Amino acid sequence: MYQPPHFNEDSPLAMQGLIRAFPLGMLITGGASGLVANPIPFAIDPEAGEHGVLRCHVARANGQWKEIGDGLDALVVFQGAQHYVHPGWYETKRETGKVVPTWNYAMVQVRGHARAIEDASWLARQIRDLTDMMEGAYPKPWAVDDAPVPYIDAQMRGIVGIELTITAMHGKWKVSQNRSDADVEGVIEGLQARAEDDAKLMAALVEDRLAHKRKKAEA
C-alpha cells in the first residue's frame, strides 16, 4: 500500500476500532484460479495469537474457501469513513487558487495466514460471536437461539469458516493532515454541512486529527 508518513496510522487500538465499526472486509487471495476477492463480515479477536485473528464464514458454494484449504496467505481490506473533498472548502482556494479536489478516507489492510474450518463447534461459536457483535446496538437484539434448532443446523451445513492469523496490520488515515489549519477547518465545515452519514463521520475524523495536532504543538 502506498503510505506517505503523514497518513500512517499504526495504533493497534485505532485499527481494531475501525474493523469493529466497519466489519465488512474484502477477503483477497491468490490461488490456483488467480486473484479472488469477496466481501465478508469479520470479527476480530485481538487476544488470540501474537497479533490477533480474524474470523468469518462463507457460503459452502463459494469456492474461495477450497483454495484457502489448510493454509493460504491472504489480504483483508477494511474501508472506513470516506468522502470527496471539494476544493472550494480550502482557504487556499480564496488566497491563491492553487488547489485541486481529493478524497479523504480511513482504511486498514490486514495480512495473514488463512485456513478453512468445517468444525461445527467452531462455526457455532463464530456465528454467535458475529451475531452478538452486530445485534448489540438494537433495542430487541436477535439471537441465534431465536430461530428453530433444525433451521440453524441446516444453515450451518451450508457454510464454511475461515480463520486468518494476523501477521501484519497497516492503517491509513488520509484526513487532510497535509493541509494548513485554515484549510482543515474549511474541510470540517464543508463536511459538516453535507447530509451524508459518511460526511459526518469524516468530519469527526478530520476534527479529531486537527485537535490532536494542536494539542501536540502546545505540549
Q: What are the pLDDT digits (tens) for 203-212?
A: 999 999 999 8
With 90 as the cut, is the pLDDT of residue 127 above it?
yes
Report the alpha-carbon distance of residue 98 to residue 88 in Å, rounded.
11
Q: How far apart are CA 164 and CA 175, in angstroms?
A: 29
Structural domains present in the chain: 5-86+102-177 (2.30.110.10)
Residue with cell 492469523: 165
**Cα torsion angle, 169, 175, 179, 184, sign:** negative
For the cut 80, the answer to whether the pLDDT of residue 219 exceeds it is: no
Q: What 3-state class would DSSP assign to 110?
A: strand
What residues are paired with 56 via a beta bridge?
162
Mean pLDDT of 15-36: 95
pTM of the model: 0.94
Mean pLDDT of the residues in the chain? 96
Closest CA to 127 of 90, 158, 165: 158
Instruction: Reply yes or no on whether the pLDDT at 23 is more than 80.
Output: yes
Instruction: Provide the CB-side half-sphere exposure for 168 (13 A, CA).
Output: 7
Q: Are 88 and 97 in contact (CB under 8 A)?
A: no
Residue 182: which region, alpha, beta or left (left: phi > 0; alpha: psi -120 to 50)? alpha
- Give the per-residue pLDDT at 99: 96
CA distances from 103 to 59, 78, 87, 212 (A): 34, 17, 10, 21
What's the pLDDT band for 216 if we cut at 50, 70, 90?
A: confident
Q: How far is CA 80 from CA 23, 181, 207, in A?
A: 9, 23, 16
The C-alpha atoms of residue 200 and residue 182 are separated, in whole angstroms, by 19
Nearest to 114, CA basis, from 57, 165, 47, 170: 165
Question: Mind listing the pLDDT tens digit for each residue in 89-104?
Answer: 999 999 999 999 999 9
Tens digit of pLDDT for each residue in 48-78? 988 999 999 999 999 999 999 999 999 999 9
pLDDT at 214 over 90: no
In one-letter notation, the amino acid at residue 154 is A
φ, ψ at 26 (rounded to 5°)? -95, 110
